[in-house]
Structure 1
Amino acid sequence: MKSWLAKYGFDYSRFRFGTRTAIAACLALIIAWALGLEHPQWSAMTVWGVSQPTRGLLLEKAGYRSLGTLIGTTMGIVIVTLAGDNVLIAATGLTVWVTLCVYGAHLLHGLISYGAVLAGYSSSMVVLLSRTPDALLPLGIDRLITVLLGVMIALVVGWLFTYRRAEQTLVNKVRRQTAETLRTIARAYDQGSIDKIPLHDQITNLAHLETQLADHGSGSPSAHLSAKLLRRLINSQLGLLAQLETCSVKHREGLAEALRESAQALTGSDVALVRETLAKTRKLMTDTTLEHEFRDFIDAIEDRIQFRESGTTAKSKTDFSVLLHRDWRGAKQASIRTFAVMLLISFVWSYTGWFQLAYLLLGASVMLTLFSTVENPAKTMYYVFLGQTAAAIVAVTIQAFIWPQVDSVLAMLLCLMPVILVAGLPLSHNKTSPGAMDFNIVFLLLMQPYTEYHFETEVSLGIASAVVAAPLLAMASYKLVFPTNIRSRQRHLLKALDRELEELEARRLTANQLKRYRARFYHRLLRLYQMADRLGFNDKLTAARYLIRVQQQLNRYK
């Protein structure tokens, strides 16, 4: 089956994931209806939003979605209660809250950022879909219960059909890269120089491994500690390679051979041999330009070994700093963009009274929060628009021609299931996967069943058009208001590096402060190498220049 799917452009892993998620979404839909919930489709939407290919990601994303929904629902109830029937006050209050969530999402990392986003647009669901203040509390409770139900079903189904061993892959990759780093350093000592040694290719490999740490460190405190230790190990290798690039080395055949022995030991499972070879190499590394960095490297290796043996480390977690880069400028620009666009829609809605604009505001709150942290949000909006347009067409078709022929809510929900089940296919195809998830979410968002249903052409088309217009509006805002792409994010990163290099030159740091600066510098350098790998040769040269500048400044403290 794998070869047959691959022949037609389908990815088997994504097909398996999509099919499993579609079945779970159908199950959530029926259970929510059986419990008498007013919006059973929200449970199915949650299943699509929460489901992940690994257990750790699934568990943590479910937790943050639940927490974000709880906070967002509570804030939505507060906003509507304070605003009463005043549309402008309600929309403005929502705009302020969503703006704060966007700002926080940009400064946070991993799934905590996702939770901040959920807190933003969950409040939008309550504020913008509540018909009257009297129906506010039931709507908020319904929203919360449907989401929690979807989370539970996604957890159960996902846990049963997700392989735990998938989460071990990164550990093996880091181990192989660590051995390769030692072989690279051995080559330098073999020839007494770094000529024709691909140091920057090795740093790029480290940078790509670093991007996978957020997923690896999800699901439990142990996983978080594992990711933290892996990040420290990656940082220590970056320190070795940066020092090798910055300072000269002399031919030392014995040291080169010891490094190769250590590399070979790291690829095996004999912990005693790893410790023995590294201790031998450390003695030979004495009085070399890499002595300090190699000591940090051995400490990082020892912590990983202790973690593998006991699930913890002998040292306090605060002994090693793994501070991450925060894009303050990007957070400010994203929040200003979100505030301006949502406030504009709010004023137009208040002035015209068009109820369809509530759906446009809802869509904009999602587009301007959920996708603001991606690499190129304007490009992403193109695929989102295609997926949502297809969803709107299918939704209106069912509303117009199929739902009027059935006479119960259960029958209406059963009509949705073929679409939900088939939706796993585009999710697994290389050409349709970018917009497939948006198709699933928006299709369910538009399909609100109720008894004594009758199709209203103007209402259905108006709501569908407003929802589809949201990604177009977001695309325009991402291009026109503080244009955001990988190049702009690189500029923000370079400015942050310049600012901290100036700070480092102007002041004298304590040992603990230096650790914090070094950790943040190294994370920013890894981010810079990630971007350079996608941008081109000149940007790789820029990354190399900043690598040398940073390491030279850090060397002042030796």
Structure 2
Amino acid sequence: MRKENLPRHLAQKIGLDRQGVVYGLQLAFSAWLAFAIASFLHIPNPFWAAMPVFVVAQATRGLAFERGLYRVVGTALGALAGFGMIHFIQDTPIAALLMLALWVAVFGALTHLLYGVQSYAALMAGITAVVVVIPCMFTPENYMQLALARVECTFIGVLMITLSSALLTPNADRDRFYLSACEVAASACYLLGTTLNGTTKDGAAQEAEILQKISRLEASGIAILAGSPAAAQNKRVINAMIVSTIGLLATSRRLHTHNRPGRPVAPQLGNALLAIATLTKDNADQTLSTQHIDEALALAQATDSTLAQHLQRLLKGAKWLLTSDQESARFVFRPDTPMLAPATNWGLARQTGLLCGLITLVSASLAYVGGSFIGEMTALATAMFSLVLGSMVKPQIVAPFLLKGIIVGSIIAIGYRLAIFPHIHSTGLVVASILPFLLVGGMARASTMFGFPALDATMAFLLGSQAMLPARVVTPMDVMAESGSMIVAACIVAGGFILLPRRSDRHVHEATRTINRDLFRLINNGDKLGAGQWMARSVRQTLRLTAHLAQSGQRHSLAPAHLISALNFGHSIAQLHSLQDSWTPQTRAILQDLNAQLNTFTDEPSTLAATLMQYARDVQQQDVTAALWSASEALVAGQDFFAYRPGISRNHE
């Protein structure tokens, strides 16, 4: 290999292209400028200013801006809380430790209750309180200076990466994302169209594929739609389209059972939907013309009123996203437009809050009793790592990268402090000495091979380097012990998540339990949990289940078809409730025990299905009979789902 081709070959080997080089240089010089500004302003611990640059930087401009904003908000909130706790350190240190542990527990839990980038504010509020309070346990006389320095460094770092992102980071391709949302909706129209004209082939596989696409779409939207008020409004439209797309899947499965050989349910509507399924950006004006939409909606209304509602939201939403049609905008932005329920996970929130709170309390207490800087570093790292990993749904995936990064960064920091830093005697030299390490860290972070561990390696290096003047007087053993304390903390926390991983099966169980609990509430308290709210909540849990089923060992027993059947069962319950006022005396007599029977759906779904079939034969009201048949069919199709974990509590709050 020729020598001039060696750098290019090396870059290709580690996954670094031209755009990656620019991104790596952006990271390195933004972090270096932040460190230089903090150093020349003589802010204590100036290396804290470089750290936000690597964390806030993102592939798209909007996400970087929004992440920077929430980092500032979280840092300010955590610092204010830290100021309040510090006052207790000298007189009642136990009270300060308990308050810190409680604060970390609450904001660790909030990382799973706040949606998208907002959860980053909660994470930073927890971390900042730790960074402010724990060092002040050892130097309480300088608490205000330390706390303000932490906030100042955060502002400097966020400002640097924000300015560089405005110049160098591209905007997200939101038009492509909007088209993807419409293409997923078109896929649902295709499935429903083939169902209605009796030509469906492998509908279950199509349902699974569409649900997977929706799950990925909703997850990617967090980054793509960040940092733009207009995109935030369109996110409401996409959420409503997601609800209606899954509603179409449920309708397709419900109507599929009505097909008879040679007698499809609604062939004319099916053909209209197949025409809509050819939707692209280029033919949007023609495919979604007012005439075509009105014709399709009229046919849908004649077939099924719920189908018509879902289809109208889909078509109007797609028309707004692709053509900016103002008439569609007036419809899709109405206050009564259904919303996707927030992505809250109370089970993970409780688990994370308890874990992070206990780890912080134990590590900070041991550090306070020990009274050494090494103990302080260990407590800081342990609490921070627990928050960072605890905020993730599957921390065991990231934990090995964090562990590798911390080990490498800490070892490099030891080398820097022992071999380079003793020869530095001015602020200018400190700033210059850090630049090569930041360049390597920036390039590693931008590469596909080292991207994940490089972030933690850079953080560990900056924290372990203690690059500041005046420097603390330490021995070589102190240097190794201080960086070693971070390695120990990483081994404890990351190792714990690796050895005791969060299992997808547990998430599947929690999501199925939530859906079934909501079904119980719909049966017994339908007036408190309306059909619209139930649908929004159930769609959210369906997406959660879809994401976890792909990684779960229970794939053989649960499938997307079962999830769709659960939605149809809920739809049938809501229909029965809405028809209750029109029941004849004969119908009331036959269905007097209906609610009691419905409450057995998790115990004996097949037995309940047979009971509902018998009710349907006895009842003489057509609408009620249809709802009973639909409920029965949903129970048969989804019995593996309903009986997935028997013994669900009948706590109908």
| Partners of 2:104 and 2:360 within 8 A in 1 | no
| Partners of 1:194 and 1:245 within 8 A in 2 | no
Matched, 1:36 2:42: yes
Local SS of the residue matching 2:117 = helix
* AA matched with 1:81: H
TM-score w.r.t. structure 2 length?
0.79
State how many pairs are aligned.
555
Structure 2: distance between partners of 1:325 and 1:68: 20
Residue 229 of structure 1 deviates from its aligned partner by 1.2
Matched, 1:111 2:117: yes
Structure 2: distance between partners of 1:539 and 1:526: 18
Which aligned pairs between 1:194-209 and structure 2 lie closer than 5 A? 195=202, 198-209=206-217
Question: Which residue of structure 1 lines up, in the alignment, with residue 478 of structure 2?
Answer: 459
Residue 351 of structure 1 deviates from its aligned partner by 3.4
Residue 86 of structure 1 deviates from its aligned partner by 5.6
| Partners of 1:240 and 1:294 within 8 A in 2 | no
Structure 2: distance between partners of 1:195 and 1:47: 49
Task: Pick closer, same or farther for the CA change 1:530–1:70 going to 2, 3 Å.
Answer: same
Question: Which residue of structure 1 lines up, in the alignment, with residue 15 of structure 2?
Answer: 10
Task: Pick closer, same or farther for the CA change 1:304–1:137 going to 2, 3 Å.
Answer: farther
Instruction: Please list the CA deviations of residues 227-258 of structure 1 after superposition, one character each: whole Å capped at 9, or x if unmatched.
Output: 12111112211110122123325434432321
Question: Which residue of structure 2 lines up, in the alignment, with residue 449 of structure 1?
Answer: 467
Task: Pick closer, same or farther for the CA change 1:7–1:398 going to 2, 3 Å.
Answer: closer
Matched, 1:277 2:292: yes
| Partners of 1:363 and 1:470 within 8 A in 2 | yes
Task: Pick closer, same or farther for the CA change 1:279–1:385 going to 2, 3 Å.
Answer: same
Local SS of the residue matching 1:106 = coil
Match of 2:411 among 393, 398, 402: 393
Match of 2:102 among 90, 96, 99: 96
* AA matched with 2:307: E
Match of 1:235 among 221, 239, 243: 243
* AA matched with 2:13: Y
| Partners of 1:325 and 1:523 within 8 A in 2 | yes
* AA matched with 1:76: G
| Partners of 2:408 and 2:457 within 8 A in 1 | yes
Residue 296 of structure 1 deviates from its aligned partner by 2.3
Match of 1:215 among 211, 218, 223: 223
Residue 432 of structure 1 deviates from its aligned partner by 2.3
* AA matched with 1:332: R
| Partners of 2:75 and 2:124 within 8 A in 1 | yes
Instruction: Please list the CA deviations of residues 83-119 of structure 1 after superposition, one character each: whole Å capped at 9, or x if unmatched.
Output: 2276544333221211111122221111111101100
Instruction: Please list the CA deviations of residues 150-203 of structure 1 after superposition, one character each: whole Å capped at 9, or x if unmatched.
Output: 111111101111222534332121122222222222222343555456222122
Residue 303 of structure 1 deviates from its aligned partner by 4.3
Which aligned pairs between 1:137-286 and structure 2 lie closer than 5 A? 137-193=144-200, 195=202, 198-248=206-256, 249-250=258-259, 251=264, 252-268=266-282, 270-271=284-285, 273-274=287-288, 275-286=290-301
Question: Which residue of structure 2 lines up, in the alignment, with residue 529 of structure 1?
Answer: 546
Question: Which residue of structure 2 lines up, in the alignment, with residue 557 of structure 1?
Answer: 574
| Partners of 1:379 and 1:475 within 8 A in 2 | no
Match of 2:81 among 75, 78, 81: 75
Question: Which residue of structure 2 lines up, in the alignment, with residue 337 of structure 1?
Answer: 355
Higher relative contact order (CA 8 A, sep 6+): 1
Residue 148 of structure 1 deviates from its aligned partner by 0.8
Structure 2: distance between partners of 1:241 and 1:11: 42
Residue 316 of structure 1 deviates from its aligned partner by 3.5
Structure 2: distance between partners of 1:416 and 1:539: 54
Matched, 1:433 2:436: no
Instruction: Please list the CA deviations of residues 495-522 of structure 1 after superposition, one character each: whole Å capped at 9, or x if unmatched.
Output: 2222212222222237x82211101100
Residue 389 of structure 1 deviates from its aligned partner by 0.6
Task: Pick closer, same or farther for the CA change 1:113–1:282 going to 2, 3 Å.
Answer: same
Match of 2:135 among 129, 134, 158: 129
Residue 33 of structure 1 deviates from its aligned partner by 2.3
Structure 1: distance between partners of 2:335 and 2:573: 27
Tell me which moved more, 185-194 or 116-125: 185-194
Residue 143 of structure 1 deviates from its aligned partner by 1.3
Structure 1: distance between partners of 2:565 and 2:267: 26
| Partners of 2:132 and 2:150 within 8 A in 1 | yes
Task: Pick closer, same or farther for the CA change 1:313–1:385 going to 2, 3 Å.
Answer: farther
Structure 1: distance between partners of 2:276 and 2:250: 20
Structure 2: distance between partners of 1:439 and 1:383: 9
Residue 537 of structure 1 deviates from its aligned partner by 7.3
- Provide the identity percentage: 20
Question: Which residue of structure 2 lines up, in the alignment, with residue 351 of structure 1?
Answer: 369
Residue 139 of structure 1 deviates from its aligned partner by 1.6
Task: Pick closer, same or farther for the CA change 1:301–1:369 going to 2, 3 Å.
Answer: farther
| Partners of 1:60 and 1:219 within 8 A in 2 | yes
* AA matched with 1:8: K
Residue 5 of structure 1 deviates from its aligned partner by 7.1
* AA matched with 2:434: L
Residue 397 of structure 1 deviates from its aligned partner by 0.3
Question: Which residue of structure 1 lines up, in the alignment, with residue 602 of structure 2?
Answer: none
Local SS of the residue matching 2:365 = helix
* AA matched with 2:485: A
Task: Pick closer, same or farther for the CA change 1:81–1:537 going to 2, 3 Å.
Answer: closer
* RMSD between aligned residues: 2.7
| Partners of 1:423 and 1:440 within 8 A in 2 | yes
Structure 1: distance between partners of 2:499 and 2:13: 38
Task: Pick closer, same or farther for the CA change 1:90–1:158 going to 2, 3 Å.
Answer: same
Larger radius of gyration: 2
Matched, 1:366 2:366: no
Question: Which residue of structure 2 lines up, in the alignment, with residue 508 of structure 1?
Answer: 526
